[in-house]
Chains A and B, each alone.
Chain A
C-alpha cells in the first residue's frame, strides 16, 4: 500500500481542488482534516470544539450505556440495561457498522454495488461452518472467516470492477445471487438451507453466552461499530480517501491526472468487504445464528436504504440511518402485535402490520423531500431558519 501514499501526495497539496471540483475547494481546518461542515462563519465557530470530541463522547456514552437503568418509556420496553433492549441495540450497532462499510463504496466512491450482502454473509457463514465442521473455537474461526470474506471481496472485486456504473451493479448483484442460491441449496447439508446455522454455544467463550451476558454482546457490537466507523473515517482523511472522493466526483479526471482509479476502487471494495465480513461474525455471535435472509439481494437493498436514509457519504449518516432503520424494523413489529392495534380497521391494519411497507414508503418520501438524508437535516433546518430571519424584521 505504499504506492497510494506516494502518488497521492500531489493531490493532497494543490491538485485536490482540481480533482474534486467545487466540493473539494472548501477551506480546511489547520489540522489538515477535511472540513465537512459548511465554510464560512459556521466553520470558525465550530473550531472551538475539537473534531474528536463528538465521536469520543459517543464512544464513552455507548460504552457506559449498559450501566444505566434509565427507563425510556415508549422507546424501549424495559430499562436501558434490560437484556431485550441491549439485544436490540446490539443488532442496531452491528448494522450501523455494516452500513458504514457499505457507505464506503456507495457514498464515498459512488460505486453502486448490489452484492454487499455476500461479504456479510460469508463472514457469518464461514465462521459458523468452521465452528461446526472443524470444531474450531470462535477465537480461531473469526479471524479465518474475516480473512476468507476479505479474500472473496478482493477476488470478486478484481473481476467486477473491470466494469462500472449499472454493469457493476448487475455483476455484483449476480455474484451475490449465486452465493445466495448456493447457501439455500444446502450443498452437502452444510449450510442448513432455509433454516440456517446456529452458533455452537460450547465453542464460544462463556462470557458471550446466555441472557445474563447480553451486555457483553452489546459491547462486542459496539466495538465493531466503532471499529468500522473509525476505519472508514480514518481512511477518508488519508490521501487515499482524497483520491476516493476524486473518483466519486469525476473518475475520468482522476485518470487524466495520472492516477489509475482501478487499484483505489479495488482497495475500497476489499476494505468494505473485509469490514462487512467482520460484521457478519459479529452478527453471528450477537444473534446466535445466521439465516439465508442475510444473503439475499433484498438485504443489500435494505443496506442501501439505511445509507440513503441517513445520508450517503457523510460521517454520521450511515450510522444514524442503520440504527433508525433497524430500530423501526423491530419496534414496528411489536407495535403491530400490541392490543390497541387490534382495534384499528382492517384496511389500516394490513399495511401497518408490515414494517417493510412503512420503511419503504418512508424511504420513498425521504428521497423526495429530504435528499441528503438525516445527516443533512440540521443544515437544511439551519438554512430555512436563516432564510426566514433574513426575510422578517431584524431581530433587534
Chain B
C-alpha cells in the first residue's frame, strides 16, 4: 500500500513537471502552430538562472524565503528569454511554420551548448530549501516534500491559466485564436500581441519547471530540458491543444504510466510504454490534432 501511495505521489510530482512544460507548449502550438523545440531551452535557462541566483544573489540565498527568490529569478529570466525569442526570432518568420520550427531547433541546440560552455557539463547541485526537505507521512508512506510542493505549484499554475483563459479578454482572444486564427484576425484583432503573450506565459511555466525540476532531480544539467521536452511533446499530442484541463490530465496519465510500469516491470519499460500509448492514441483518434495540422505544416 505504501509503495502505491509513494508511486502515486512521485507520479503526480513528475506529472506536475510535465504539465508545467506541456501547458505552454500546447498553448503555443494551438495558437501559432509552432512546434517549439526551444521550450527545453527555456527550461534550462530557468534552472540555471535559479541556481545562479541562489549562489550569487543575497536575497535568493539560504534555505527559506531565499529559495522563493531564486525560483522567482529563474522564472523571470526564462520569461524574458521567451519574450525575446518570440520578438526577435519567431515574429519575423510569421506565417512560415517550417522556418519557425527550424529556428527553434537551432536555438534548442545552441542554448544548452552555451550553458554548457559557461557552467560546464557536470550536474550542479541545486540548493534544497527547508520546506522541501524530508518527507511527510501520507497513508503510511513517507512522501518527499518536494513532490507535494511541485503538485501544489502545478495546481496553482493550472488554476491561474484557467482563470486567464476563461475570464480575461486576452484569454478570450487566445481561445478564439486556437479555434480559428484567420477569423480573429479578420475581426480586426491583432493576434500577434497574443502570440507574444502566450510565448511569455509558456516560457514562464517552462522556466518554473526548470527551477523546480532542480528540486525534483536534485541537480541541474544543460541537457535536462531536452529529455523532459520529448515527454512534454507526447503529453501535448495525447492531451490535444483544445483544453488546458486535457493537458493536465494527459500529463498525470503519462507520468503515472511511466512510474508504475518502471517500478513493476523492468526499468525503462515505462518510458517505452508511454511511446506505445502515444502511437495508439495517434492511430485510433484520427480527429483533432492530427487532421487539423496535417495541411498546415508539410
Please provide the chain A residues from 262 to 286 with a CB less than 8 Å away from any CB of chain B in the complex: none
Partner of A363, one of B92, B102, B230, B278: B102
Interface size on A, residues (CB 8 A): 49
Whole-angstrom CA separation of A171 from B106 in the bound complex? 21
Q: Which residues of A contact B111 (CB under 8 A)?
A: 360
In the complex, A118 Cα to B286 Cα: how many Å? 25
Closest to A296 in B: B226
Given contacts A166-B293, A360-B109, contact A178 B35 (CB under 8 A): no
A71 CB-CB contact with B under 8 Å: no
Determine whether B218 belongs to the interface, using a CB cutoff of 8 Å to chain A.
no
Report yes or no: A308 in contact with B295, Cβ–Cβ below 8 A: no
Q: 8 Å CB contacts to B: which residues of A148-167?
A: 159, 162-167
Q: Which chain A residues numbered 311 to 369 have a C-beta less than 8 Å away from chain B? A: 350-357, 359-361, 363-364, 367-368
Query: Contact between B290 and A167 (Cβ–Cβ < 8 Å)?
Result: yes
Tell me if B282 and A298 are in contact (CB < 8 A): no
Q: In this complex, what residue of B is CB-closest to A361?
A: B110
Contact A367 B103 (CB under 8 A): yes
B244: chain A residues within 8 A (beta carbon): none
Residues of A within 8 A of B197 (CB): none
**Shortest CB distance B84–A (Å):** 13
Given A163-B290, A304-B102, A354-B114, A170 and B278 touching (CB < 8 A)?
A: yes
Contact pick for B117, options A110, A159, A164, A350, CB 8 Å: A350
The reply to whether B298 and A364 form a contact with Cβ atoms under 8 Å apart is no
Cβ-defined contact, B293 with A305, below 8 A: no
Size category of the B interface is 35 or more
A35 adjacent to chain B (CB < 8 Å) = no
Please measure, in the bound complex, the distance between the C-alpha atom of A167 and the C-alpha atom of B103, giving whole angstroms: 19
Q: Are A367 and B230 in contact (CB under 8 A)?
A: no
Contact A356 B275 (CB under 8 A): no
21 cross-chain CB contacts under 8 A = A110-B298, A162-B283, A163-B294, A164-B298, A165-B295, A166-B35, A166-B297, A167-B289, A169-B35, A170-B234, A177-B275, A298-B226, A350-B118, A354-B113, A354-B116, A356-B110, A357-B114, A363-B102, A364-B89, A364-B106, A364-B107
Chain A residues close to B by CB (< 8 Å): 110-112, 159, 162-171, 173-175, 177-178, 181-182, 184-185, 187, 251-252, 297-298, 301-302, 304-305, 308, 350-357, 359-361, 363-364, 367-368, 371
